[in-house]
């Protein structure tokens, strides 16, 4: 071979970085937010995620993916983690991590399930449970940019106590009339609850999401059966499949 091979340009590797817990917030009995100081964090887009790697004393390592809940405007990276029953990494992150504890993280990862103010609206966000985390990054970014993009969040939780970021969301909607926050409590409703008292269904989506002729950008995140149902309803209502971006988690058949 005499031909000179073109030198491949090495892609920039996503390095493992050291993350230090600066604040641990109890969101619900099963969910905590970890606010992390990440050495050399390159920034991210709302909706992206990270890989977390824990190393045990015997050298054993485990990796999992978590959505980023903080906007790129913040210096700390927030992960909102739900304790998965019989899980390996999430119980440790939720129950064991204290201030100044360290672990490894790399990212940001993904680039499809993202929204920035520059992408415009209207914006329709639909979440169940801890699926709200990446959508919260979008809403926090929207607020930090003082944007008035017409937006709606439809958030399904089992009960009021299971609803993450409740006070922050209420305050956000109070400050910005272009944002509407709608709750659906599926199992237990507090006295005086004025939101929906059932699972998200087609008529609820028709009533809360912007109509198809306004071509909203739609983001759906939650357990697999929830996302499958919601995205099918949205298609039936006439929304274009290409406008619906989804993130699913958990097994196929787990009840939402």
Which stretches of the chain bind other proteins, using CB under 8 A? Answer: 10-18, 51, 53-58, 60-65, 86-88, 92, 96, 101-104, 109-113, 224, 228, 231-232, 234-235, 241-242, 244-246, 248-252
Minimum distance between the CB of residue 183 and other proteins, rounded to whole angstroms?
24
Residue closer to other proteins by CB (options 53, 166) is 53
Residue closer to other proteins by CB (options 189, 224) is 224
Q: Which residues of 111-135 are buried (b: 16+ CB within 10 A; e: fewer)?
A: eebbbbbeeebbbbbbbbbbbbbbb
Minimum distance between the CB of residue 113 and other proteins, rounded to whole angstroms?
7
219 closest CA partner among 165, 151, 170: 151
Tokens of 98: 């204290």
94 closest CA partner among 108, 75, 80, 104: 80
Minimum distance between the CB of residue 120 and other proteins, rounded to whole angstroms?
19
Residue closer to other proteins by CB (options 146, 252) is 252
Minimum distance between the CB of residue 188 and other proteins, rounded to whole angstroms?
27
Residue closer to other proteins by CB (options 70, 246) is 246
Q: Do residues 94 and 36 make contact, with C-beta atoms less than 8 angstroms apart? A: no
Q: Could you give the strand order of the β-sheet that contains 102-109, starting from the edge strand earlier in sequence?
A: 61-67, 49-55, 102-109, 17-28, 31-38, 77-82
Quote the DSSP letter at residue 112: S
Contacts of residue 250, defined as CB under 8 A and 6 or more positions apart, other chains included, come to 223, 224
Contacts of residue 103, defined as CB under 8 A and 6 or more positions apart, other chains included, come to 19, 52, 53, 54, 55, 97
Q: Coil, strand or helix: which one is 92?
A: helix
Residue closer to other proteins by CB (options 133, 172) is 133
Minimum distance between the CB of residue 104 and other proteins, rounded to whole angstroms?
5
Minimum distance between the CB of residue 129 and other proteins, rounded to whole angstroms?
15
Residue closer to other proteins by CB (options 102, 148) is 102
Residue closer to other proteins by CB (options 64, 83) is 64
Minimum distance between the CB of residue 57 and other proteins, rounded to whole angstroms?
6
Cα gap 157→184, rounded to integer Å: 6
Which helix (H) or strand (E) is 248 found in, with range? strand 244-249
């Amino acid at each position: 071979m005499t031909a000179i091979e073109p030198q491949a340009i090495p892609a920039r590797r996503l390095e493992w970085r050291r993350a230090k817990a600066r604040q641990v917030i109890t969101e619900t009995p099963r969910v905590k937010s970890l606010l992390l100081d990440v050495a050399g964090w390159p920034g991210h887009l709302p909706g992206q995620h990270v890989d977390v790697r824990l190393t045990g004393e015997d050298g054993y390592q485990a990796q999992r993916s978590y959505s980023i809940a903080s906007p790129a405007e913040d210096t700390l990276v927030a992960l909102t983690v739900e304790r998965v029953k019989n899980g390996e990494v999430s119980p440790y992150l939720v129950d064991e991590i204290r201030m100044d504890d360290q672990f490894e993280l790399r990212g940001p990862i993904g680039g499809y399930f993202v929204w920035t103010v520059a992408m415009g609206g209207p914006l329709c966000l639909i979440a169940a449970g801890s699926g709200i985390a990446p959508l919260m990054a979008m809403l926090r970014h929207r607020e930090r940019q003082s944007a008035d993009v017409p937006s709606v969040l439809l958030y399904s939780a089992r009960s009021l106590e299971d609803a993450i970021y409740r006070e922050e969301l209420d305050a956000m909607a109070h400050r910005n009339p272009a944002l509407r926050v709608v709750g659906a409590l599926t199992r237990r409703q507090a006295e005086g609850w004025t939101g929906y008292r059932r699972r998200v269904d087609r008529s609820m989506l028709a009533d809360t999401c912007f109509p198809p002729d306004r071509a909203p950008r739609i983001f759906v995140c939650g357990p697999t059966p929830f996302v499958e149902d919601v995205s099918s309803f949205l298609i039936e209502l006439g929304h274009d499949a290409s406008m619906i971006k989804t993130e699913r988690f958990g097994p196929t058949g787990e009840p939402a």
